[in-house]
């Protein structure tokens, strides 16, 4: 025992954090982070993906996808913010819609966690097996079992697709340049 300095060093240190009253801060997702995503909520638990797709059927061709949050909440992923804003105007008796910035904590957390999968929805382009078949046949050095009429039909289909793509690009350019569409 040390003698001489007998000060009482008893002190109670206050905790830095109060873990009993801890509240998780609200996740702040601003409108600019995921402007092409909306929350779909308050629909019956029996609803399936097909039912939600039916509600948004007019957006299918423009690019629309659904990511589930829970039984009565889902995220609607559109191809553009303009399309998402347009969809916010939909009135449906079984479904409610709001921007992601006003969504529930769970929906915002899901959006943050799956950010890479919430990129704007785009339709997959039409594909053809012709190129793959030609590459495999030439690599293996075998003759094709495809008849001449089948090859010609496939070639015609590819040419039509190229022409359609060229025409769409021209129409897009005409719109940007402000040219009259009725003369096309």
pLDDT in tens, 47-89: 999 999 999 888 887 788 899 999 999 999 988 888 888 888 8
Supply the pLDDT for residue 68: 93
Residue 42 phi/psi, 5-degree rounding, is: 55, 40
| Distance of alpha carbon 84 from alpha carbon 127, whole angstroms | 28
Mean pLDDT in residue range 93-119: 87
> Model-level pTM greater than 0.85?
no
Mean pLDDT in residue range 136-147: 86
Supply the pLDDT for residue 169: 87
Mean pLDDT in residue range 157-165: 88
* DSSP bridge pairs for 64: 78
> Which range has the worst mean pLDDT, 52-56, 94-98, 117-121, 168-172?
117-121
Contact 108, 96 (CB under 8 A): no
Rg value, the chain, Cα: 29
**In this predicted model, which residue has the larger pLDDT, 142 or 23?**
142
**pLDDT surpassing 80 at residue 138:** yes
pLDDT, one tens digit per residue, over 19-48 is 777 665 554 545 567 888 999 999 999 999
Supply the pLDDT for residue 5: 59
């Amino acid at each position: 025992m040390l003698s001489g300095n007998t000060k009482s060093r008893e002190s109670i240190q206050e905790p830095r954090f109060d873990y009993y009253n801890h509240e998780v801060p609200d996740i702040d997702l601003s409108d600019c982070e995921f402007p092409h995503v909306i929350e779909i909520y308050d629909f019956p638990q029996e609803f399936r993906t097909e039912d939600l797709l039916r509600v948004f059927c007019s957006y299918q061709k423009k690019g629309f996808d659904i990511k589930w949050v829970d039984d009565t909440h889902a995220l609607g992923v559109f191809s553009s913010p303009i399309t998402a804003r347009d969809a916010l105007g939909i009135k449906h008796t079984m479904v409610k819609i709001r921007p992601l910035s006003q969504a529930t904590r769970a929906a915002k957390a899901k959006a943050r966690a799956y950010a890479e999968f919430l990129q704007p929805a785009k339709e997959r382009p039409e594909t053809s097996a012709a190129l793959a078949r030609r590459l495999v046949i030439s690599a293996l050095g075998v003759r094709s079992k495809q008849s001449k009429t089948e090859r010609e039909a496939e070639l015609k289909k590819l040419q039509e697709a190229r022409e359609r793509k060229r025409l769409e690009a021209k129409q897009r350019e005409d719109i940007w340049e402000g040219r009259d569409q009725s003369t096309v």
